């Protein structure tokens, strides 16, 4: 049985700010490497909260047609500027670590960097330095940028047909 979790913008923002607070307590970051695309959203919030002005992307694709996991492909690597920094000053940000395959590829490009995600599933959890919520492995997360607002028919109306 596959479960699903639908996140609102408010919940995602609150969880991201919780992560930012934990990262602020650690401190020492001079740059963020956002894993595009999902990591772009929390990276912007975290950069604001921590006062970080250098934000780089690493572009990785691992899902195809939204729900099918495929081969990991790096579409854009990290810049020389980021790679030249002391790795402990670079914060890698993603929205979710699932199986850990993407995290392994990203961490291989920048060993020693601090890896933070908002959500973590058990298979990917050992690769993450900081996260906010653990999510069961069999749960598909619908992020707010993946969904839209629409009318929801009342439950009673559906049951009366």
The residues annotated with a catalytic role in the active site are 94-95, 98
Instruction: Show the tokens assigned to 109.
Output: 């490009």
Q: Rounded distance, CA 106 to CA 92, Å?
A: 8
Strand order in the sheet with 114-120: 68-76, 55-64, 31-36, 90-97, 114-120, 133-134
Q: Rounded distance, CA 13 to CA 41, Å?
A: 9
Q: Burial, 112: exposed, middle or buried (Cβ in 10 Å; 0-12, 13-18, 19+)?
A: exposed
Sequence-distant (≥ 6) Cβ neighbours of residue 155 within 8 angstroms:
none
Cis bond leading into 27, ω under 30°?
A: no
Under 8 Å between Cβ of 69 and 124 = no
């Amino acid at each position: 049985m596959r479960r699903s979790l639908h996140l609102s913008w408010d919940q995602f923002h609150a969880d991201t700010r919780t992560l930012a607070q934990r990262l602020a307590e650690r401190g020492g970051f001079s740059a963020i490497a956002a894993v595009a695309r999902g990591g772009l959203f929390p990276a912007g919030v975290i950069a604001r909260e921590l006062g970080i002005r250098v934000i780089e992307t690493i572009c990785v694709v691992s899902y195809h047609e939204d729900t099918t996991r495929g081969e990991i492909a790096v579409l854009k690597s990290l810049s020389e500027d980021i790679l030249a920094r002391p790795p402990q000053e670079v914060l890698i940000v993603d929205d979710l670590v699932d199986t850990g395959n993407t995290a392994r590829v990203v961490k291989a490009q920048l060993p020693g960097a601090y890896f933070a995600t908002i959500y973590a599933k058990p298979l990917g959890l050992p690769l993450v330095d900081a996260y906010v919520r653990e999510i069961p492995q069999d749960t598909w997360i619908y992020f707010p940028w993946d969904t839209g607002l629409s009318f929801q028919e009342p439950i009673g109306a559906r049951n009366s047909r």
